[in-house]
Structure 1
Amino acid sequence: MLNFDFYNPTQILFGKGRIADLNKVVPADARVLVLYGGGSIKSNGVFAEVMAALAGRTVKEFPGIEPNPSYETLMRAVEIVREEKLDFLLAVGGGSVIDGTKFVAAAANFEGEPWAILETRGRNIKQALPFGTILTLPATGSEMNNGSVITRKSLKAKMAFSSQLVFPKFSILDPAKTFTLPVRQIGNGVVDAYAHIMEQYLTYPVNAPVQDRFAEGLLLTLIEEGPKALANPEDYDVRANIMWCATLALNGLIGAGVPQDWATHMVGHELTALYGLDHAQTLAIVLPGMLRVRKESKRAKLLQYAERIWNITAGTEDARIDEAIKRTQDFFEQMGVKTRLSDYKLGSGNIDEVLQQLESHRMVALGEQRDVTLDVSRKVLELSV
């Protein structure tokens, strides 16, 4: 096992009816900005519950955070925070709203041009406003980590940052609030969480059985529960298991003391920035090809994955690995998330543009062993057509 530091101060309030507990975790004298996306929280009653729980506080609202939160939109929220002298943020939504809120928290009192936060990946953050979250779309794990990904539309750049100053103070997770999610978002959420686990698990062995078994348990749970969520969207226990899986997939536990990859995510970010694909769609496209191209460097873990997740024990090593990758791809398809560029009207003609973006963003040596060069990324995308 590798050396590691682990720190996670986020309080989780899990279960039915927990929005009412906002009154206990938001300071009574707070001046609050509630940030959300397209407005479904008003039609499904979540917004009314939030406002009731925040009664007595000054509350402003900021709607319209996109599925891939944009710098341009978020800077408008920053201006509201500054003008109204707001001192607490509340993200109500999925990972995009939470990621966007993290940026607003860091940018509100930032000295200089806030884009520098993204350019330095958060290393220059000296302070951030406190914030909490109410999760309505389990997928990204942003509700219990200190990472964020922001898109600047004018540059077609999707950039990540992190800082210990942007952990949520608390996150409320009520599985019942996910019952009305569209099928597409259910599938996306499961695939997103699955890919997060794979980025931390499927690298190379470092004798870390605790992390491995933890990751494998999460993967198996998503495989078991994901199709149930599509078949019976209002099964509380199924939705609870998926919600907690997505949180645990990226709260730091399974990645502590093990090598991490993230090449699939970096390539996927460029597909989103250029063509507007959902984040989970890009992961479903890139991950199978990434595993096939890098089969040798990941051989030991791929064989472990084949046996422990898919019960594949017969055949040659190569045959077992190939079958495990195929079943992974089939599972994404089962969740309604297509796995080829051609499924999204993209193809070989788009590969050079993606590679140019990777190069311009200095993504030329990715992966746990820094061996995912532009040539490797090209091969991955060619297999993904």
Structure 2
Amino acid sequence: MNFSYQNSTQIFFGQGQISNITQAIDKSKKVLVIYGGGSIKKNGVYQQVEQALTDHNWLEFSGVEANPTKETMDKAVTIIKEQNVDFILAVGGGSVIDGAKYAAAAAHYDGDGWDILTGAYKPQVATPIGVILTIPATGSESNANSVITKAETQQKLPFAATCVHPQFAVMDPDVMKTLPEKQLVNGIVDAWVHVCEQYITKASGALVQDGYSESLLRALKTLGDTYAERDNDLWRANLMWTANQALNGLIAAGVEQDWATHMIGHELTALWHVDHARSLAIVQPSLLRNQIEYKRGKLEQMGRNVFGLEGGSDLAERTIDAIETFYNQLGVATQLTEHDGDKAQAIELVIKRLEGHGLTSLTENQSVTPVEARQILEAAVA
């Protein structure tokens, strides 16, 4: 169990924390505030940012999509270069933060920013980033990961670079009060699958990582089970913190990881604009059933320690059923319907794209080849 772990993001957690950016960002820095479609102007977050940056030199860039595109973020790159921006403040959820990370890295590269996503260019330097989180889900506020879509080709690819790790993240649960119901549910599902991708792998004997993963899963299950009582400060705070801890690198340290559900799910989002979290719920149960013999041990452990299921030869199967029931309980579908009914064509399209991206040996076992991916999609596509 050898690993190196560091998380350098300073967290300002709790109500009224947005004002901390006044001191967190040096007043000598020229700041670019990046945000999405304008909801932050309706819920009061923008006004708090404006107040906190009264004595700073700042400008703004808005219009980041729910799945940030290279095309949109390249416009931000141009601003960063032309205006000599020293610091980026991303105000939003995972999409805004991911887009800001791309812009921060691409602004220090003379070539096509898409090279970052293909791996042709590996960023070593980026414009410093701070975050005000408005949607709990991805954990992007305190990790080095980003996912970007190229609209021109309908490609959605991830990258990770230490240089885009946010310097600080403001996490005020009050900003969740005006979130649409769909985004709250997505946050639960997204965080749940993030934990699973690092937990339902090979038995490693890593007691801390396994135990903490199970604690996070139980917390998310409790939040789902008490969803009807979500309009309270503690519920919101617990979701925001759990989603952060699900993907800040800690439970991944020293253990093998999967991420096949994400790689296949990305294609559903790129092709049919399925919400990221919902693409994961569509893929995961079918993938787990397909790979059950590789994952039986951890599934049984999850069944006992998260769902409280009794033992038996079919415990792993019942655990997958419990996961699927959990999604359905939240009103989240576990089959794709956005493909407009042509199942064979949809499956073929996803397989070709996976092959085109070189994603032909997925999971911690490299056991999801195009053959298995096709089987998974046969079950996951309505």
- Structure 2-normalised TM-score? 0.97
Structure 2 counterpart of 1:324: 319
Q: Which residue among 125, 137, 143 is the counterpart of 1:145?
A: 143
Q: Does 1:194 align with 2:189?
A: no
- Equivalent residue for 1:334, pick from 329, 332, 344: 329
Distance across 1 between alignment mates of 2:247 and 2:364? 17
SS in 2 for 1:148: strand
Deviates more, 1:259-268 or 1:338-347: 338-347
User: Following the alignment from structure 1 to structure 2, what is the Cα–Cα distance between the partners of residues 373 and 174?
Assistant: 42
- Whether 1:106 aligns to 2:89 is no
CA distance in 2, matches of 1:12, 1:336: 32
Select which of 347, 352, 359 maps to 1:356.
Answer: 352
Residue 374 of structure 2 corresponds to 378
Deviation at 1:226, TM superposition (A): 2.6
CA contact (8 A) 1:184 1:336 kept: no
Assess if the C-alpha contact under 8 Å between 2:66 and 2:95 holds in 1.
Answer: yes
What does the per-residue CA deviation read over 1:232-258, in whole Å, with 9 as the maximum and x for residues that have no partner? 343110111111110000000000000
Secondary structure of the residue aligned to 2:11 is strand
Which sits farther off after the overlay, 215-224 or 24-33? 24-33
Q: Is contact 1:268–1:279 with CA below 8 Å preserved after alignment?
A: yes
1:142-197 C-alpha deviation (Å, 9 max, x unpaired): 00100000000111110111111010000000011111111100111100000000
Listed as ranges, the matches of 1:158-197 within 5 Å are 158-197=156-195
Q: CA deviation at 1:5?
A: 1.4
Q: Which structure 2 residue ranges, 5 or more long, are not aligned?
A: none
Matches within 5 A, 1:90-105: 90-105=89-104
The amino acid across from 2:44 in the alignment is G
Q: Is the 8 A contact 2:124 2:162 kept in 1?
A: no
Q: Which residue of 1 aligns with 2:273?
A: 276
The CA distance in 2 between the partners of 1:95 and 1:193, in whole Å, is 12
**C-alpha distance in structure 2 between counterparts of 1:172 and 1:335, whole Å:** 28
- The secondary structure found in structure 2 opposite 1:64 is coil
Alignment of 1:228-267 (within 5 A): 228=226, 230-267=227-264
Equivalent in the alignment of 1:86: 85
Query: C-alpha displacement at 1:209, in angstroms?
Result: 1.0
Provide structure 1 residue ranges, at least 5 long, that are not aligned to the other structure.
none
* CA–CA separation in structure 2 for the residues paired with 1:25 and 1:234: 30
Residue type at the aligned position of 1:332: Y
Q: 1:287 aligns with which of 284, 289, 293?
A: 284
Q: CA deviation at 1:46?
A: 0.4
For 2:235 and 2:293, how far apart are their aligned partners in 1?
36
| 1:128-139 mapped onto 2 (5 Å cutoff) | 128-139=126-137
Q: How big is the shift at 1:71?
A: 0.2
Task: Give the superposition deviation at 1:311.
Answer: 1.3
In structure 2, the residue matched to 1:367 is 363
Q: What secondary structure does 1:150 align onto? A: strand
Q: Which moved more, 1:143-152 or 1:302-311?
A: 302-311
Structure 1 residue identity aligned to 2:137: A
1:65 aligned partner, one-letter code: V
**TM-score, normalised via structure 1 length:** 0.96
2:23 aligns with: 24
Aligned-partner SS, 2:134: strand
SS at match of 1:298: helix
Structure 1 residue 110, shift from structure 2 partner: 1.2
> What are the equivalent positions in structure 2 for 1:55-66 lying under 5 Å apart?
55-66=54-65
Structure 1, residues 211-239: CA drift from partner, whole Å, max 9, x if none?
Answer: 000000000000001343x4234311011
Match of 1:309 in 2: 306
Aligned length: 380
| Equivalent position amino acid for 1:313 in 2 | E
Given that 2:269 and 2:276 are in contact with CA atoms closer than 8 Å, whether structure 1 keeps it comes out as: yes
Give, in whole Å, the separation in 2 of the partners of 1:115 and 1:300: 39
- 1:14 Cα deviation after fit: 0.2
Tell me how far 1:345 sits from its aligned partner: 4.1
The alignment partner of 1:362 has SS state of: coil
Separation (CA, whole Å) in 2 of partners of 1:349 and 1:83:
45
Rounded to whole Å, the distance in 2 between the matches of 1:314 and 1:143 is 38
Mapped to 2, the partners of 1:60 and 1:231 lie a distance apart of: 40
Structure 2: how far apart are the matches of 1:182 and 1:112?
A: 38
**1:126 Cα deviation after fit:** 2.5
Rounded to whole Å, the distance in 2 between the matches of 1:237 and 1:103 is 33
Given that residues 6 and 256 in structure 1 are in contact (C-alpha distance below 8 angstroms), is that contact kept between their aligned partners in structure 2?
yes
| Paired AA for residue 127 in structure 2 | L
In the TM superposition, residue 337 of structure 1 has moved relative to its aligned partner by 1.6
Contact 1:226 1:242 in 2 (8 A): no
Per-residue CA distance 1:341-373 (angstroms, 9 max, x = gap): 137645343100000000000000011011110
**Counterpart Cα distance in 2 of 1:87 and 1:311:** 51
